[in-house]
Chains A and B, each alone.
Chain A
Amino acid sequence: MIIAPFSMGDSPVHRLDPRVRVVASTAFAVAVALTRAPGPATLAIAAGCALLVIARLAPGPLLLRFARLNVFLALLAVLLAAAAPGDALWALGPVTFTETGARMALLIALKANAIVAALTALLATTDASELGHALWRLRVPPKLTYLFLFTVRYLDVLHREFGRLRAAIAARAFHVRCDRHTLRTLGYLVGMLLVRAFDRSERVHEAMLCRGFSGKFPVMAVYRLGGGDAVFGLVWSVIVVAILVWR
């Protein structure tokens, strides 16, 4: 599977109701996106990190995820610090780094890391299909939910299809170079993947009709809110409201 490195595991976070996690992470992301001061952003990142610790996620993929995010944020920070008006903090040749720019960059980094931490702890720890069912229960439009569930289902299938096409190309001694032949081969690779995907979608649809598909997906999952959900819900609401009020 190319996705879901954190969905396995058993922790208080993994045991939360998926609906609670969807609502909690969305509310948190919105609240953090609205903050404009470093204080609430620090509270948010503390809350996000606390959840990551409670969820006991694999450290390797976790570090990789935050490293990627922060490399991007660092690039942005350099551009911002160089471009924002204000008192010069220090100069590097013709470029002056200002305090306003540095503050902006710091705030952005805090907010971005806080949201990604909470999303990782709350949502990446669910099984994707479980998440689809939770969306269904939360009354997201049915077609959108089906699209989500189908996409999750076929990502892995098509990733393997893609692997077979790549193997076929490699067996013919293809090497990526910077030339027309490479681009043409890559274009055909993408085109072939779409052809196979299209043919598969026809077969999927026919198979569904054979099994009596009537336009409705019976969702078997029944969720019940437990004591853990109540405790988490209460604590998390307090944090979200605090971030919102403090701003």
Chain B
Amino acid sequence: MHIAEGILTPPVLVAGGLVAAAGVAVGLRRMDLEAVPRVAVLSSALFVASLIQAPVGPASVHLVLIGLAGVVLGWAAFPAFLVALLLQCIFFGFGGIAVLGVNTANMAIPAVVCHYVFRLTRPRRREAMGFVGGFIAGALGIVLGALLVSLTLMTTGRAFTAAATVIFSAHLPVAAIEGVVTGWAVALLCKVRPEVLSPVRPAERNPSVA
């Protein structure tokens, strides 16, 4: 979910860059050095998982996993998305450097919102609650992300309203699919490894190792 280079106006690019910089600063402050490997490995996993194609009727979409990123990374989603989008634009040619800030903000803000929404559902124990919390986070992540992308496009001019509407409505089925997939992923994590779901913070390591 990213906007290509060359579309947005300079004020929007600057605003996106500032928002992303602030978010990344918060994310980095909340992630101490010990947590860097964890954030990096989890965000690589999310990057790889976003290659998965999920079926929608006869077509298929690739997973975006904004909600899941918020659930497992919290505020660290900002630096994680910045790095992931930088890698995507360098190695795949998606997005670009000047729109990097806007794209980071458009994906990381929904992720952080999902992080807080998911915390409200507190699905620590039961698998069913895990599914519900995951579904909400997964679907909400896509809806908010698509909304931000559409709004960003519309700032460029009236001519973009059609494109923005198409983009937003095309993401509604994606949100449903992504909600279900995220729901099952979170349900599995609740059962198998609940500590993945606790937000990134100074990890409680075994002192004898440290």
Interface residues of A (CB under 8 A from B): 2-5, 25-26, 29-30, 32-34, 65-66, 68-69, 72-73, 76, 79-80, 82-85, 100-101, 104, 107-112, 114-116, 119-120, 123-124, 128, 131, 141, 143-144, 146-148, 150-155, 157-159, 161-162, 176-178, 180, 182-184, 186-202, 204-206, 208-209, 215
Q: B10, B38, B98, B181: which contacts A186 (Cβ < 8 A)? A: B181
What CA separation (Å) do A192 and B188 show in the bound complex?
8
What CA separation (Å) do A1 and B135 show in the bound complex?
32
Q: Contacts A29-B97, A151-B83, A205-B34 hold; do A123 and B90 have CB atoms under 8 A apart?
A: yes
Q: List 14 A-B contacts (CB under 8 A).
A: A3-B87, A32-B5, A32-B6, A79-B163, A80-B163, A150-B40, A151-B40, A183-B54, A184-B180, A186-B63, A195-B196, A196-B45, A197-B41, A200-B41
Interface centre among B48, B96, B193 (most CB of A within 10 A): B48
Interface centre among B31, B91, B177, B189 (most CB of A within 10 A): B91
What CA separation (Å) do A83 and B156 show in the bound complex?
13
B89, chain A: closest CB distance, angstroms: 6
B167, chain A: closest CB distance, angstroms: 9
| In contact, B6 and A124 (Cβ under 8 angstroms) | no
| In contact, A187 and B180 (Cβ under 8 angstroms) | yes
Interface residues of B in 1-23 (CB under 8 A from A): 4-8, 10, 13
| In contact, A194 and B83 (Cβ under 8 angstroms) | no
In the complex, residue of chain A having the shortest beta-carbon distance to the beta carbon of B8: A33
Besides A84-B159, A183-B177, 8 more A-B contacts (Cβ < 8 Å) are: A29-B98, A150-B44, A155-B47, A186-B184, A190-B65, A191-B185, A194-B72, A205-B203
Residues of A within 8 A of B36 (CB): 143, 146-147, 150
In the complex, residue of chain B having the shortest beta-carbon distance to the beta carbon of A132: B83
Interface residues of B (CB under 8 A from A): 4-8, 10, 13, 24, 28, 31, 33-34, 36-49, 51-58, 60, 63, 65, 68, 72, 79-80, 82-84, 86-87, 89-93, 96-99, 157-163, 166, 177, 180-189, 192-193, 195-196, 203, 205, 209-210
Chain A interface secondary structure, helix, strand, loop or mixed?
helix
